[in-house]
């Protein structure tokens, strides 16, 4: 499987690249608006994996070129860059591409972080509206702490909630998630359930910030 991580030089992109690079044999395409930066980060990820005895396959490209080469495109960008990123690569996507969004809209005030629900109803809905009509959009990887994911010395048992309107696309993303050691994918239905999933992320950040010993907090449903 060829997975493009658009914005793959950022926190969540780094974590997913390192975990998939260590735990799977997928070909990973690190995307960025700056192709040179993408190449440097891909090389850095490969170096880290090589130092741990893992033979990760990573390469760096400008976002559109990464999307053009991929079976699955992960939008590992902040919510405020989501639509622009999709529009920049839209002509490289088709009905055989699965588009994945882990983005969450948040705002912060004196009381902590809060879910910033967009007018469309969710960030995933924004992605679905911006994507070409034939391209399935799947939500996943929202509630994962980026620093913990990128720390390959960290062992965990976390769940990621997967939702979308295309059952086959959901299954593809669930399989990718399950390929990461310690991560379990749970199906939570269609895009209408996106707000409930996205809103968990600021809650987890607040709990982690306000309670000693709960840094890099994930969730597990039992």
Instruction: Read off the pLDDT of residues 48-60 as tens digits, 9 standing for 90 and up.
Output: 999 999 988 999 9
Per DSSP, the three-state class of 115 is: strand
* Architecture in CATH of 2-210: 3-Layer(aba) Sandwich (3.40)
Q: Report the alpha-carbon angle 211-209-109, nearest 5.
A: 135
* Span 107-163, pLDDT tens digits: 999 999 999 999 999 999 999 999 999 999 999 999 999 999 999 999 999 999 999
Pair 178, 162: CB distance under 8 Å: no
């Amino acid at each position: 499987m060829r997975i493009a991580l658009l914005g793959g030089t950022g926190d969540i992109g780094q974590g997913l690249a390192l975990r998939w690079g260590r735990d799977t044999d997928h070909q990973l395409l690190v995307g960025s608006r700056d192709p040179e930066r993408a190449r440097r980060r891909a090389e850095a990820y490969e170096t880290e994996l090589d130092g741990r005895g893992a033979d990760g396959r990573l390469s760096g490209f400008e976002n559109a070129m990464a999307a053009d080469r991929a079976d699955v495109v992960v939008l590992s960008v902040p919510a405020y860059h989501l639509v622009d990123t999709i529009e920049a690569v839209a002509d490289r996507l088709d009905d055989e591409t699965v588009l994945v969004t882990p983005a969450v809209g948040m705002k912060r005030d004196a009381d902590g972080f809060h879910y910033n629900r967009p007018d469309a109803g969710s960030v995933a809905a924004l992605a679905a509206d911006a994507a070409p009509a034939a391209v399935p959009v799947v939500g996943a990887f929202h509630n994962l702490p980026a620093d913990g994911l990128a720390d390959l010395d960290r062992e965990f048992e976390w769940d990621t909630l997967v939702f979308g309107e295309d059952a086959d696309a959901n299954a593809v993303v669930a399989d990718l998630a399950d390929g990461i050691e310690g991560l379990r994918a749970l199906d939570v239905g269609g895009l209408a359930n996106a707000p409930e999933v996205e809103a968990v992320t600021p809650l987890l950040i607040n709990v982690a910030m306000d309670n000693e010993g709960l840094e890099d907090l994930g969730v597990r449903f039992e």
